[in-house]
Structure 1
Amino acid sequence: MGTRFKCNEETIARTKAGKIRGFYDDGIYTFHGIRYARAKRFQMPEPVKPWEGVKDALSYGYICPVLNQPRPTGEVTTPHRFWPENENCQYLNIWTGTLDPRAKKPVLVWLHGGGFFSGSSIEQVCYDGAALADFGDVVVVSVNHRLNVFGYLDLSSFGEPYKNSGNAGMADLVAALKWVHENIEAFGGNPENVTIFGQSGGGAKVTALGQIPEADGLFHKAVIMSGVFSSMSSGEEVKGRELVLEILHQAGLKEDDVDRLAGIPSQRLIEAVNAAEKKFSGEGKYVEWNPVPNDWYVGDPLDCGFRDHFKAIPTLVGSVLGEFDLQPPILHKDQLSLKERRDIVAEKYGDEYADEVIRRFKAAYPDKNEVYVRSVDLLFRPGTLEYVRKKSEKGAAPVYCYMFSVCFDIDGDKLAWHCSDIPFWFHNTSLIPVCRIDGVTEKLEKVMSMALVNFARSGNPNAAGLPGWDPCTPDHVVTMILDRICEVKIDHEKDLIPYLEKVTPPFHFDPSVMGSDDDDDSEGSAWFY
């Protein structure tokens, strides 16, 4: 038998800037915390400087500071882990089965969720890339980058040095992809076959990269998981100069002190941002951290259209059926009478709409209990459907669509929630107990992981164990239903989603109250990504 664990001269890789040492365990070489760039606050990233000797890549790098301490919530459904924070967070991690530059394996670069304001490359337990690298014979990379005020504060009106500060976080990701392009051969990867994939905010970052000319040629396929969404806030958005001026005020600085804002301690800056957000919230306004359209970043394609280059990128797009379903569980729902089920539906949609809501839902999802229609996602799915239609219009590259709709054995068969599909894509259900469903998990995980790997390899997600999966067209959305039984449906939601949008009561998503405990007065936002 061979050595199961190694951390020696055999686990050293040579990058453009110098040598780094990772470790080998059970068939996979792992490198944690590789610095891919450096940057001053609010400035564009720069390449790392060369070094002599061998640097260790045995510990995860810093993650970007968050603005509020998260409150432990829902750890059974979405297990998390945290790490030391520092705004100098340009680090990536690599998992690979070989260090042979001739291997030319497909490369998958993971962009984490948490919007553009939170999260990290290691935050969810299931983000670990070892199992996927081993199962799919691919190279997996995950990336940290600047977020929130450190990555998306638009200071452009304060002078040329800050002209792209509102996109510093996205610039980090471009720098990471450049690093991958220049160095991934040393880890057995093919720089000409790179797939970027991400979930929630990570999916939105995938789309944003497609709208940045500087990223052209650095990736060749795109996977967007629950990443096309509407704003979750209500009121008037505060951005640009108005936001910066209030942050300066809260930090005790004057309008011409922007340069000092770039130098104050991180915690002082965070406190000023939080104070500014609190003030605006009291006025019915909100702050939303997002990339800023300019001559570097074109803008959201649903607003301004897809760039020609991005149109030619094969894309896999989808969501899960439940996403942010915050309603109390209904136990023993299959034992309820038809009238009892209808009454539950009527509680949300009203007696006048209940029957039609049920009819349309059962037409789309005939095997689901009627009460699940209360949980159907309207934050991600409408935008996802619009996205696949628009990106399919020119036919320059295939666009594949999916829906993850598993019911899990928790809380009376809970419908798939935001993030519940990630362990299946990563081949990591063994790490997440709630994902282990007898007779289901092993088969579903295999076909989903293989679909992802096949897409990364060739731009086609078809895999053994799945029915034939055709790309979408401008006229028809072809959806692979990923469930206990996988099947393909065409336009199955066209009568459901628009109708639900019309009859669903107004909904405001507030992560700060998710899973809150009346007996716990601790502050912070709940974990929901």
Structure 2
Amino acid sequence: MIVLLTAVYIFILELSKNTFLGWGIGIALAIVLLFVRHYLKKKDLWNIKMAAGFLLILLALFAINYEFTAPPVKRVPAVTYKNPIVTKKIHVAQGDITGVYDEGKEVEIFAGIPYAKAPVGDLRWEEPLEPDSWAGTRACDTYGPMSMQPSSSVLYSSLSQILGTHDYRFSLTDQYKEEMSEDSLYLNVYRPADYDGEPLPVVFFIHGGSLTTGQSYYTEYRGESFAKKGVIFVNFAYRLGIFGYMANKELADECTNGTTGNYGLLDQIMALKWVHENIGAFGGNPDNITIAGESAGSSSVNALCVSPLTKGLFVRAIAESSGIGMKKPYHTFRDMDEALATGEEILKEFNVKNVSELRKISADKLVKTATQNSSMCVDGYAIIEQPYLTYEKGENHEQALLNGSNLKEADAFLLSTKATSDNYEEILQEVLGDNAKKAAELIPPGAVERDSYFIIDPKGDAKGSLNFVYSDAWFSYSHNVWSKYMEEQGKPVYQYFFTKTNPYLSNNHAGEMPYAYGNLSYHPGMYDDSDYALSEIMLTYWTNFAKTGDPNKGSEDSDVELPKWPQWNYEEDKLLEFNDEVRLIDNPYHELNKLIDEYQNKEE
């Protein structure tokens, strides 16, 4: 029993990322108790009552050891190999920095570069300010902390990897807990090693996470593969949740620009300005920046495209699985009145009278707020009007767009929703209003084969049909709207549909990212040769687009055979499907999009 209990305990210590000292103490305790038990048995003193007492003692000692050897809080290193090689100095506006080479010495990584002053103390809920300068050389070899966000225990996260994404891996280098802080406004730059040529194109990537979670250093969008393709890649952290999107009239009044509610968006704009001003030091071309993002990051890209503060800072956009360009955005966007009302709820929740008192409350307490702060709003400064109005005027900034979505975008978000033939139409009303009946007739509950490209639900129940409709409404529809605006403006637009399956994220929300950003190798055992072949195609399309604005045209020396990706147009509504075969398909949502259009254009 002691041996079995100890084995389970060591397994828990591994999942919790406790230090190896904890392993040693746990094993030592078990050995000591085994010897004591052996001695007592030899003296014929061992009995059931004593065994129960020993078990309780062991459990108590294990609990004390668990707390004593909890993982330390650390920042994530840019590389994991021992004694990383340091790059030459680079001078940015604030001072000199060095980065580190990746293990193959093909890419230089500059991690944790401050792009704004830490938004702490009196600067909480203020516009981001220019970062402080530093003397000497700053070593940029670790990623900055993740922004404040709701978090679960390390043990729970590990179990989620085992049971959910199936990609948990034993490692000797991750016995720590990742740092979280309000002081999180740092960015990371990936560039080709020892590059000294013509200025390179740049991709500026905004992470997703419903504007409430996420890190700059997720392996799904690391930038090494882009750098190897001759594109400088930048990603970064920004304020989230209550710290990034709380709105309050008092805050608007104290601000020179009268803004509130979009602090995370203002961080993104500050980071983009920093990149535009400093990327030349890394060999990048400030006049050839493509902004990119997925999920809430894609919604943020949409916001940057209409913000008057970003004019001239980038030339094109990549948008994956979200947008706010429709008349009634389904998520990541709200009216200012709603935002201000939520701000008042926050004051009541924390029993304070004003913002000054709220700033004195610790970040650890604020992050546990019961309110939702996961949306941008029209603040008259960063966003001056409903985004669709800016698109109708043709005043958006992107000159070309690559965008699209995945087959099962909504499935994970609807896991707990029970859909039957009886309540199907009622649930559809949330996204289609009075058009829910028409949608239920177009895609009835129990529909099995929607078209020749995929099956909604092999069981033929209402849940599969519901997932199909919501995948469009919540995610894919926004790209149909966005693409139409671009076509009307005579600008090139390329739209895709990702359907490839795999044991990891499959074709669910975010499933395309490891492919498009060339990061399948971070998840060993999850992908096969067909996945790597598709990833190489998608990575080439994405980097070509960053170089030229055309996914079909990039480096002349590329040996990747690319199927032709024609510009999208509404009349044909053809999408490039990413699967084992890369091919043009009819948009499976074409008719459903018409119903959503009707709902969106109805006057309230």
TM-score by length of 2: 0.69
Between the aligned partners of 1:496 and 1:138, the Cα distance in structure 2 is: 37
Between the aligned partners of 2:581 and 2:489, the Cα distance in structure 1 is: 32
Whether 1:310 aligns to 2:423 is no
The corresponding residue for 1:334 is: none
How far off its partner does 1:186 sit?
1.6
How far off its partner does 1:495 sit?
3.0
Between the aligned partners of 1:78 and 1:317, the Cα distance in structure 2 is: 28
Q: Is the 8 A contact 1:206 1:224 kept in 2?
A: yes
Cα 1:78–1:58 shift into 2, 3 Å: farther
Whether 1:265 aligns to 2:342 is no
Cα 1:245–1:133 shift into 2, 3 Å: same
Between the aligned partners of 2:143 and 2:508, the Cα distance in structure 1 is: 28
Whether 1:16 aligns to 2:93 is yes
How far off its partner does 1:484 sit?
0.8
The corresponding residue for 1:362 is: 451
How far off its partner does 1:223 sit?
0.4
| Cα offsets for 1:371-421 (capped at 9, x unmatched) | 6964532321122212211232121x21110000112257xxx96111111
1:322-471 to 2 correspondences below 5 Å? 322-326=408-412, 358=447, 361-363=450-452, 365=453, 374=465, 375-376=467-468, 377-378=471-472, 379-395=474-490, 397-409=491-503, 416-433=507-524, 435-438=526-529, 440-462=530-552, 464-471=560-567
Q: Which of 179, 199, 222 is the aligned partner of 1:104?
A: 199
Higher mean C-alpha deviation, range 319-328 or range 164-173: 319-328
| Cα offsets for 1:126-171 (capped at 9, x unmatched) | 222112311x111111110111111111123555224323111111
Q: Is the 8 A contact 1:96 1:138 kept in 2?
A: yes
SS at match of 2:304: helix
Whether 1:32 aligns to 2:111 is yes
Q: Which of 244, 254, 259 is the aligned partner of 1:161?
A: 254
The corresponding residue for 2:190 is: 95
Q: Is the 8 A contact 1:150 1:168 kept in 2?
A: yes
How far off its partner does 1:121 sit?
0.8
RMSD value, Cα? 3.6
The corresponding residue for 1:516 is: none
Whether 1:115 aligns to 2:204 is no
How far off its partner does 1:315 sit?
0.7
Whether 1:46 aligns to 2:143 is no
Between the aligned partners of 1:67 and 1:128, the Cα distance in structure 2 is: 23
How far off its partner does 1:29 sit?
0.8
Whether 1:242 aligns to 2:341 is yes
Larger Rg: 2
Counting matched residue pairs gives 464
Q: Is the 8 A contact 1:105 1:139 kept in 2?
A: yes
Between the aligned partners of 2:339 and 2:592, the Cα distance in structure 1 is: 38
The corresponding residue for 1:483 is: 579
The corresponding residue for 1:66 is: 149
Whether 1:192 aligns to 2:290 is no
Structure 1 gap ranges (5+): 278-285, 329-343, 503-529
How far off its partner does 1:225 sit?
0.5
TM-score by length of 1: 0.78
How far off its partner does 1:30 sit?
0.9
The corresponding residue for 2:302 is: 207
How far off its partner does 1:356 sit?
9.9
Cα 1:152–1:94 shift into 2, 3 Å: same
How far off its partner does 1:237 sit?
10
Between the aligned partners of 2:512 and 2:142, the Cα distance in structure 1 is: 27
Whether 1:7 aligns to 2:7 is no
Cα 1:52–1:148 shift into 2, 3 Å: same
| Cα offsets for 1:112-137 (capped at 9, x unmatched) | 01021211112x32222112311x11
How far off its partner does 1:270 sit?
2.8
How many percent of aligned residue pairs carry the same amino acid? 25
SS at match of 2:234: strand
Cα 1:6–1:489 shift into 2, 3 Å: same
Between the aligned partners of 2:596 and 2:262, the Cα distance in structure 1 is: 35
1:488-503 to 2 correspondences below 5 Å? 488-495=584-591
Between the aligned partners of 1:320 and 1:66, the Cα distance in structure 2 is: 26
Q: Is the 8 A contact 1:208 1:299 kept in 2?
A: no
Cα 1:207–1:306 shift into 2, 3 Å: farther
Between the aligned partners of 2:541 and 2:357, the Cα distance in structure 1 is: 50
How far off its partner does 1:217 sit?
1.3
The corresponding residue for 2:138 is: 55
Q: Is the 8 A contact 2:212 2:373 kept in 1?
A: no
Q: Is the 8 A contact 1:317 1:400 kept in 2?
A: yes
Between the aligned partners of 2:191 and 2:181, the Cα distance in structure 1 is: 27
Between the aligned partners of 1:132 and 1:193, the Cα distance in structure 2 is: 15
Between the aligned partners of 2:527 and 2:348, the Cα distance in structure 1 is: 51
The corresponding residue for 2:71 is: none
Between the aligned partners of 2:459 and 2:407, the Cα distance in structure 1 is: 13
Cα 1:474–1:68 shift into 2, 3 Å: same
SS at match of 1:11: coil
Q: Is the 8 A contact 1:19 1:55 kept in 2?
A: yes
The corresponding residue for 1:138 is: 231
The corresponding residue for 2:165 is: 77
Higher mean C-alpha deviation, range 347-356 or range 217-226: 347-356
Cα 1:468–1:349 shift into 2, 3 Å: farther
Cα 1:471–1:249 shift into 2, 3 Å: same
Q: Is the 8 A contact 1:147 1:169 kept in 2?
A: yes
Higher mean C-alpha deviation, range 195-204 or range 20-29: 20-29
More helix by share: 2
Between the aligned partners of 1:435 and 1:499, the Cα distance in structure 2 is: 38
Q: Is the 8 A contact 1:28 1:133 kept in 2?
A: yes
Residue identity opposite 1:35 in structure 2: P
How far off its partner does 1:370 sit?
5.7
How far off its partner does 1:50 sit?
2.4
Q: Which of 306, 314, 317 is the aligned partner of 1:219?
A: 314
Between the aligned partners of 1:492 and 1:47, the Cα distance in structure 2 is: 47
Taking CA–CA contacts closer than 8 Å with sequence separation of 6 or more, which of the two structures ends up with the larger relative contact order? Answer: 1
